[in-house]
Structure 1
Amino acid sequence: MPKARRSNDWGFPRWRGYGSSREATSVRICDRHGCEEKGDCPAPKSPNSPDRWYFCQRHAAEYNKGWDYFEGLDKEQAAERAKAERQESAGYAEASHYGWSGSGDGSRSADEMRALDVLELEADAEFPAIKKAWREKAKTVHPDVKPGDAEAAAEFQKLQLAYEVLKAAEERREWRG
């Protein structure tokens, strides 16, 4: 008679991974007729019913496509519900200044980010790229190139200010080391 082998499912730590059991796992198939995908997205069969359909990702998206949170409410009721939900989440809005508020990695100030937008550059642009973009744009609207053009002069001033903000920030970074 062969010797019985001990299971690897004993003790701590567990000697076999949690997903590697030998038993067959039941996989739910999408409830959409003709679909053979895995149905892992529950959707209610009717309002306030515990019964659920189980759809694949694609059919769940199709099911929810026309869903309207405020359906069946008149304007006043919808506004009241929206106001109540804003009040419930007011703590999150109040603390939003603790998070990152825009693009970039946090190493640039808001003024620098606006200056980069004026020069149409990405948030991580290096100073040589900033200088190059400023020169190219400034050459097209310089008062010597377009004398008497008020729009060009205003655009040149905007570009000049953006460059000065970024240059001062670069000098501060170099100074800090």
Structure 2
Amino acid sequence: MSRVRRSSDWGFPRWRGYGSSRDAAQVRLCDRHGCNDPGNCPAPKSPNNPDRWYFCQKHAAEYNSGWDYFAGLDAEEAAMREAQERSDFSGFKETAHYGWTGSGDGSRSGDELRALEALGLDPDADFDAVKKAWRSRAKEVHPDVRPGDAEAAKAFQIYQVAYEVLRAAEDRREWKG
């Protein structure tokens, strides 16, 4: 009779050899010639084709920048396909107002982003650039410079409110920091 031998690890992995029970993980490389990064971003080879390229994130972004989903279709087919796509996924349109509507890194509120846009600045502009832009724009449309001009007065008010929003936000950041 053969005697059954009990395992000595009692279910605790720390008593086993490290990685002894694991096989090598299969990693698919990027399909771009010469790239050795993992290819974990699938990209279609052509419309209506199940075949996919597998790129790294950098090459997937490069590929997608030149991708035209409607390539090879005439205007009528493209319009029909677009209408079909929109009808199938129309439920997602309801949630569009929850997303960010502008660019930014998330450190600025929507009001701040709109104020920066009103002053013609990038979302990552610092407060010195805000002051400079506000002064130059406000000088152009100030009521003392353009008396009786309703459009200039409205533009001046917009610049003034934008500056106040950004100044209050800067004060809050300084107070917290």
Q: TM-score, normalising length from structure 1?
A: 0.55
Structure 1 residue runs of 5 or longer lacking an equivalent are 1-10, 20-26, 28-40, 51-56
Give the match for residue 124 of structure 1. Answer: 124
Give the match for residue 71 of structure 2. Answer: 65
Give the match for residue 18 of structure 2. Answer: none
1:144 paired to 2:144: yes
**Deviation of 1:67 (Å):** 2.1
The letter of the residue matching 2:89 is: E
> Equivalents in 1 of 2:88, 2:68: separation in Å?
29
**Deviation of 1:78 (Å):** 7.8
Give the match for residue 34 of structure 1. Answer: none
The letter of the residue matching 1:115 is: A
> Equivalents in 2 of 1:80, 1:18: separation in Å?
34
Task: Tell me how large the CA RMSD over aligned residues is.
Answer: 4.3
Rg larger for:
1
Change (3 A) 1:94 1:125: same
Task: Count how many residue pairs are aligned between Structure 1 and Structure 2.
Answer: 129
Give the match for residue 114 of structure 2. Answer: 114
Change (3 A) 1:69 1:148: closer
> Equivalents in 2 of 1:147, 1:72: separation in Å?
53
> Equivalents in 2 of 1:63, 1:80: separation in Å?
14
Q: 1:86 aligns with which of 90, 94, 112?
A: 90
**Deviation of 1:107 (Å):** 0.5
Structure 2 residue runs of 5 or longer lacking an equivalent are 1-21, 34-43, 51-62
> Per the alignment, in what secondary structure is the counterpart of residue 107 of structure 2?
coil
> Per the alignment, in what secondary structure is the counterpart of residue 104 of structure 1?
coil
The letter of the residue matching 1:65 is: A
The superposition leaves residues 28-57 of structure 1 with CA deviations (integer Å, 9 ceiling, x where unpaired) of xxxxxxxxxxxxx8558xx8x99xxxxxx8
> Equivalents in 2 of 1:65, 1:83: separation in Å?
21
Give the match for residue 8 of structure 1. Answer: none
The letter of the residue matching 1:121 is: L
> Per the alignment, in what secondary structure is the counterpart of residue 169 of structure 1?
helix
**Deviation of 1:137 (Å):** 0.5
Contact 2:115 2:162 in 1 (8 A): yes
The letter of the residue matching 1:165 is: V
Contact 1:70 1:78 in 2 (8 A): no
The aligned runs of 1:20-35 (5 Å cut-off) are: none
> Equivalents in 2 of 1:73, 1:159: separation in Å?
42
Sequence identity, in percent? 50
> Equivalents in 1 of 2:95, 2:68: separation in Å?
35
